[in-house]
Amino acid sequence: MTTTSPRVQEFRVRLSGLDPDDRCDPELAGLARGFVVAGRESARFLWHAEDGWRAVAMSREADDDEAASALVTVSPATLPRGITTREAQVLTLVALGLTNGEIAGRLGTRPRTVSTQVERLLGKLDQGSRAGLAAVAVDASLIVLPLPGGPVDSVSIAQAEIHHAAVTLSGRVAPRSEDAVGFTRRRSIRLGTLAPLIGAAASDGLELVRGASIAVREVNARGGIDGREIEHLIEEVDLFDGSTVTTAIERLTAAGVDAVHTNYVTAEHPAALALLADYGRPFLHTATLESQVALVRDDPARYGMMFQTCPSEEYYRLGFATFLRELVREGHWSPAGRSVVALEADSATSRVADDTLRDLLSDAGWQLEHTIRTPLHAPKWARIAAEIESRDPDVLLISHFLPDVAELQRLLAAHGFRGLVYYVYAASIPRFQTVAGASSEGIVWSTVTGRYDDAMGERFQRRFALRYGDPPGWSQASAAYDQVMLLAGAWAGVRSADPMRTIEHLRTTISRGLNGVYFLGGPGQAALCYPYETEDSSLGQALLIYQVQNGTPIALSPAPKGDLRRFTPPARPRGR
């Protein structure tokens, strides 16, 4: 392949779309979003624009607002050694390991024709085997995207991974009509993912998509569900824009998905639950809200299709108060006082510091002295840090769930804050860990749904890092993986995607996942919290509490997952 220097263009594409100039072709932008989701550091391929071939290079970039973005460079290109457009397509499919018959099926031609084209490619590229052709295609970046005939479920070639990820984003990058060929096969089972890939929650949204994608691929690699593959459809939403959530649900229902899952999207948009209830298919979420569990408990006829695959937020309160009481009672910490200041986002979904918490702390020998509430968006972190320092609490409880709260942590560390900082959930997000860096040393954080430190969790962590280049966070990737596996287990158990039979299977089956045990048969169809809602660890998910020590989260609670004796008190004792 050769390129020429004139008309080289460069774009930056985020998961949430393009820069305002909107110069990038929509198909290419879709591939760029797939590149970000696939987690590759870089990739090169050929792309055919309306006026000829282009050499496309994509590289990963850090983004202040999201998990990552793609820098896309597009240059004019010509095919090498007289290769034709059709031969370039054949070469791409040879590189993916397809047989002549499979290639013919994708291109709408005959195997004999493909055999002739392969022979011509061997001569033009001076190769003696199909393996040699594949090596040249990869080494010289001669892979054509979109892949002729549609995506291939392959993880060995970056370009195939990119196309597959792009197509899952609502199927927005489909094969061109002249390349697409219909196949007679059983209808796939369709899984819809509501992913907050736009805006402030994009880091968690990316975790959700990647965890679910690993699960879908594993199920399909085992033959799918009774021979039927899971087709993964992803709808991008903005956690703080209800119209995007409504549109996404409408698109998924129009596509006839057999189930929908998400993280905490419906926590900010409870009205979406009515749309999902009208649809009547299984819906799994981790909104962590007792109010949404109550909907199922109070009106099972309407909301019985809904499952919260984690315990509710009320256990954050109980877990925090219990943690402080046991630290002091067991002699692991002797703070100068017993004062707590709470910081929480001014949102109903982030409220932890209430009268219930005040009473729980009082019973544990502590006092909730003050609560600071800040907007979810554009908080004045410097002002908040100053107020916290002026009150000088023994413990600072933070329940602002967006990862940008890491900016506050950096300020507190820089100013030498001497109290213990305890985060509800936010510090488990990879974006928080990246931004906070060394300033997170010594902080404590908890999550009601987190990946266990066991053989299952370690295996998933290795697979995730191998696939995406970065390790997963502690919550959403594994939670999404478990949601897909719960659905796959139900579909396999009833040998169909029938909604009522699937829902009944989810209600009556206990499953062990990466984040603990899923027993969803209670009146509210939510996971049980161990050890506070159930003392039987074989029935619930542990409310995990970690402390960052030497840059690594160390499990403190509950036993036997953690050990309070490993707690390290704040570095400098308080002075009164």
- pLDDT tens string 311-367: 999 999 999 999 999 999 999 999 999 999 999 988 777 789 999 999 999 999 999
Q: Say which residue the tokens 């009106």 belong to.
A: 299
- Point out the least confidently predicted range of 96-110, 260-274, 402-416, 561-575: 561-575
- Point out the least confidently predicted range of 14-23, 29-38, 253-262: 14-23
> Average pLDDT, stretch 32-40?
86
R_g (Cα) of the chain, nearest Å: 26
Cα 379 vs. chain centroid, distance in angstroms?
Answer: 25
Residue 156 neighbours by CB distance under 10 Å: 10
In this prediction, residue 153 carries a pLDDT of 66
Q: Say which residue the tokens 């502590």 belong to.
A: 366
In this prediction, residue 186 carries a pLDDT of 65
In this prediction, residue 413 carries a pLDDT of 94
Confidence of residue 440 (pLDDT cuts 50, 70, 90): very high
> Average pLDDT, stretch 19-24?
56
Task: Summarize pLDDT for 144-175 with one digit per residue, the tens.
Answer: 999 998 888 655 688 988 898 888 775 555 44
End-to-end C-alpha distance for the chain, whole angstroms: 72
Tokens of 387: 């107020």
> Average pLDDT, stretch 425-443?
91
Q: Say which residue the tokens 């624009």 belong to.
A: 49
- Sorted by sequence, the CB contacts under 8 Å of residue 430 that are 6+ apart come out as 67, 203, 207, 470, 471, 472, 473
The strand pairing partners of 544, in sequence order, are: 447
Closest CA to 292 of 310, 318, 317: 310
Closest CA to 197 of 375, 391, 14: 14
In this prediction, residue 38 carries a pLDDT of 84
Range of 37-46, 198-207, 293-302, 466-475 with top mean pLDDT: 293-302
pLDDT at 522 over 90: yes
Confidence of residue 250 (pLDDT cuts 50, 70, 90): very high
In this prediction, residue 361 carries a pLDDT of 97
Buried b (16+ CB within 10 A) or exposed e, 193-203: bbbbbbbbbbb
Task: Summarize pLDDT for 363-402 with one digit per residue, the tens.
Answer: 999 999 999 999 887 889 999 999 999 999 999 999 988 8
Q: Where in the chain is the domain with CATH 3.40.50.2300?
A: 189-312+453-531, 314-447+543-566
Confidence of residue 405 (pLDDT cuts 50, 70, 90): very high
Q: What are the DSSP calls for 299-350, one per residue?
A: -HHHHTTEEESS--THHHHHHHHHHHHHHHHTTS---S--EEEEEEESSGGG
In this prediction, residue 182 carries a pLDDT of 40
Q: What are the DSSP calls for 450-509, one per residue?
A: ---SSHHHHHHHHHHHHHHSS---SSHHHHHHHHHHHHHHHHHHHTS--HHHHHHHHHH-
Q: How far is CA 204 from CA 192, 298, 425, in A?
A: 17, 30, 11
Q: How far apart are CA 147 and CA 179, in angstroms?
A: 9
Q: How far apart are CA 476 and CA 482, in angstroms?
A: 10
Q: Where in the chain is the domain with CATH 1.10.10.10?
A: 2-164
Tokens of 470: 């970065």
Percent over 70 (pLDDT), the chain? 91
More confident residue, 399 or 572: 399
pLDDT at 18 over 50: no
- Point out the least confidently predicted range of 23-37, 470-484, 551-565: 23-37
Map 344-391 to HEC letters.
Answer: EECCHHHCCCCHHHHHHHHHCCCEEEEEEEECCCCCCHHHHHHHHHHH
Q: Which CATH class is domain 314-447+543-566?
A: alpha beta
Percent over 90 (pLDDT), the chain? 71
Closest CA to 192 of 247, 252, 251, 279: 252
Phi, psi (degrees; rounded to nearest 5) at 454 = -140, -175
Confidence of residue 306 (pLDDT cuts 50, 70, 90): very high
Closest CA to 286 of 443, 61, 518, 131: 518
> Average pLDDT, stretch 530-537?
95
pLDDT at 290 over 80: yes
Buried b (16+ CB within 10 A) or exposed e, 13-30: bbbbebeeeeebbebbbb
Range of 6-10, 174-178, 515-519 with top mean pLDDT: 515-519
Q: How far is CA 371 from CA 62, 340, 363, 399, in A?
A: 34, 9, 19, 11
- The correct CATH number of 2-164 out of 1.10.10.10, 2.40.160.210, 3.10.20.600, 3.40.50.720 is 1.10.10.10
Q: How far apart are CA 268 and CA 399, in angstroms?
A: 15
In CATH terms, the fold of domain 189-312+453-531 is Rossmann fold (3.40.50)
> Average pLDDT, stretch 71-96?
93
Tokens of 154: 């392959």
In this prediction, residue 498 carries a pLDDT of 96
User: Using CA atoms in the order 299, 302, 304, 305, what is the torsion angle rounded to 10 degrees?
Assistant: -150
In this prediction, residue 365 carries a pLDDT of 96
Pairing of strands 444-447, 420-424: parallel
3-state secondary structure of 433: helix
In this prediction, residue 40 carries a pLDDT of 81
In this prediction, residue 203 carries a pLDDT of 87
Confidence of residue 37 (pLDDT cuts 50, 70, 90): confident
Closest CA to 368 of 394, 388, 339, 398: 339
In this prediction, residue 268 carries a pLDDT of 86
pLDDT at 200 over 70: yes
pLDDT at 574 over 60: no
What is the overall mean pLDDT for the chain?
A: 89
In this prediction, residue 196 carries a pLDDT of 93
pTM given for the model:
0.84
Q: Say which residue the tokens 């023994």 belong to.
A: 394
Task: Summarize pLDDT for 450-486 with one digit per residue, the tens.
Answer: 999 999 999 999 999 988 888 999 999 999 999 999 9
More confident residue, 396 or 62: 396
